């Protein structure tokens, strides 16, 4: 889908806990400073938003979970537990060799203009692909990764 990805080396049954999303826990303010300092395109980060408003930065002390790409028809989902740890679970049976993905549900508060959507392009290739990693504004999902 994009750059590096994570692929199943074995068959993974539905519901299995696959990997923790590890990394340094930072404020959104720090995350934005880091994104700016890194000079990456706005749509490219290893951030995972937590319920308490902080962010896991997978680029700092992270693991392979940071390489899991977004898909509009994902085979995994992230779950944040009461202790603030995040694990990635299989949404369905995943065959050996399949790329793992979850729905990022990126929230962008401003107007979703064509230019903004182009900053967060989705190349998941799913039949229902929306063309952007941004969640439609009305969905208001709490999970977010950028």
Measure the CA–CA gap between 88 and 75, rounded to whole angstroms: 10
* Alpha carbons 12 and 10: distance in angstroms, whole number: 6
Query: Which H or E run contains 36?
Result: helix 28-38
46 binds, among Zn ion, ligand SAM, none (CB under 5 to 8 A by kind): ligand SAM
What whole-number distance in Å separates Cα of residue 78 and Cα of residue 89? 6
Q: Per the structure block, which two tokens stand in for 61? A: 């002390």
4 binds ligand SAM (CB under 6 A): yes
31-60: which residues touch ligand SAM (CB under 6 A)?
43-46
Which residue has the CB atom at the shortest distance from ligand SAM?
A: 3
Contacts with ligand SAM: how many residues (CB under 6 A)?
20
129's contact among ligand SAM, Zn ion, none, with CB below 5 to 8 A by partner kind, is Zn ion
Is residue 90 a contact point for ligand SAM (CB under 6 A)?
A: no
């Amino acid at each position: 889908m994009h750059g590096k990805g994570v692929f199943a080396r074995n068959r993974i049954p539905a519901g299995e806990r696959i990997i923790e999303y590890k990394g340094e826990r930072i404020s959104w303010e720090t995350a934005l400073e880091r994104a700016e300092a890194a000079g990456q395109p706005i749509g490219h980060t290893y951030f995972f938003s937590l319920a308490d408003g902080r962010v896991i930065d997978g680029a700092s002390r992270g693991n392979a979970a940071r390489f899991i790409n977004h898909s509009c028809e994902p085979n995994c989902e992230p779950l944040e537990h009461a202790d603030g740890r995040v694990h990635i679970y299989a949404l369905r049976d995943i065959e050996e060799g399949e790329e793992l993905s979850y729905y990022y549900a990126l929230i962008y508060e401003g107007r979703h203009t064509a230019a903004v959507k182009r900053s967060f392009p989705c190349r998941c290739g799913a039949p229902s692909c929306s063309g952007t990693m941004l969640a439609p504004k009305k969905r208001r999902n709490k999970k977010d990764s950028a």
